[in-house]
Amino acid sequence: MGRGRSAGYDDQRELILDRAAALFARGGYPGTSMNQVAEASGLSKATLYHYYRDKYALLVSIADSHVSRLQRIVREALAEEQPPDARMRELIARLVEEYADAQHAHRVLTEDVKFLEAEDRERILDKEREVVRGFAQVVAELRPDLKQAALSKPLTMLLFGMINWMFTWMKPEGALDHQAMAPIVSDLFLGGLAAVQAPQPLARPRLRA
């Protein structure tokens, strides 16, 4: 009988993906080596190959895992019975929340998908298209006239433009965090600039003297 996987096997795989995504995001997929991934993960190179057969497998796993989580967010939101405006706010909030913890993976998905082989790239892009269709469906529910004018998808892409690049300017120590930004994005998209409400200042931990 073959040896089973250890209890921490999946956790170790996730740790490796997290470290690899950070390296790919900083140095690019071509410029990152398996030696660097192993060192960042606190593993020997031989142990790293026990979890992932090569660097390409890491790229596929990072991109596919990230877009699959986005796909699941959309499917769950569309399955719930709620008004279109509430559904859109939930979609935006959950997407922004996901991006807050997956900034490196999102950069990899955005910039390194071109290095995927055709079959893998098409599978992952199909999942991305489903995410876009889900948002566009809610836009059409909010404004059926825009669907007739073929504007549901362009407006969805404008919305993604607000969300997708937040990681380029949001700072962990900044005055706003992702949780505060989500309703601002919703207000701006659904009601325009006049609808935006200023969030309450973040409560910062007091430093002891």
pLDDT at 61: 97
User: pTM for this one?
Assistant: 0.84
pLDDT, tens digit, 9 for 90 and up, residues 47-90: 999 999 999 999 999 999 999 999 999 999 999 999 999 999 99
Q: Residues 6 or more apart from 81 whose CB is under 8 A from it?
A: none
> Dihedral of CA 86/87/89/90: which sign?
positive
Element (H, E) at 99: helix 84-100
Q: Residues 6 or more apart from 131 whose CB is under 8 A from it?
A: 67, 70, 71, 73, 74
- DSSP code of 94? H
**What is the residue extent of each domain of the chain?**
57-194
* pLDDT, the chain, mean: 89
Summarize the confidence of residues 132-145 as an average pLDDT: 94
To which CATH superfamily is domain 57-194 assigned?
Tetracycline Repressor, domain 2 (1.10.357.10)
Residue 208 has pLDDT above 90, yes or no: no
pLDDT, tens digit, 9 for 90 and up, residues 16-41: 999 999 999 999 999 999 999 999 99
